[in-house]
Amino acid sequence: MKFSLLVLASPYSQQGGLSALKFAQTCLKGGHEIYRVFFYNEGIQNGSFLQTPQQDELNLHSQWTKLAEQHQLDLVICIAAALKRGLLNESEAKRYDKPQYNLQAPFEISGLGQLLDAQINSDQLITFG
């Protein structure tokens, strides 16, 4: 089965980000496909490489990165939600004349059209809030 995930939860204030990660890992181990993971609203915070959780806590950003690299996952951050919350990749930082950025591959910034595309091209779109 082909799944896409919509992650609305911030990484450390809600359970949804961790639940989405565990769901993705389980799907892939079971032979299913993850078409896309789309991060929206507070869920975009999962993409910030500046996260530095305590050593005894799971680093969700690192886990998503590792999973994406192992399985060539498409991790998409909603551009409108990201800009509003100060999450920028290098090109957006330059575009808005900001001195720093906090988003890099395998996460990419794109629009809501990517969410629609995920819904069309997947058997199921699962939301984690």
pLDDT tens column, 21-31:
999 999 999 99
Domain ranges of the chain: 2-128
The domain made up of 2-128 has a fold known as: Hypothetical Protein Ychn; Chain: A, (3.40.1260)
pLDDT score at 51: 86
Residue-wise pLDDT for 11-23, tens only, equals 888 889 899 999 9
The three-state DSSP-derived secondary structure of the chain is CEEEEEECCCCCCCCHHHHHHHHHHHHHHCCCEEEEEEECHHHHHHHCCCCCCCCCCCCHHHHHHHHHHHHCCCEEEEHHHHHHCCCCCHHHHHHCCCCCCCCCCCEEEECCHHHHHHHHCCCEEEEEC
Catalytic residues: 78
pLDDT per residue over 43-90, tens digit each?
A: 999 999 998 888 888 899 999 999 999 999 999 999 999 999 999 999
The pLDDT value given to residue 52: 87
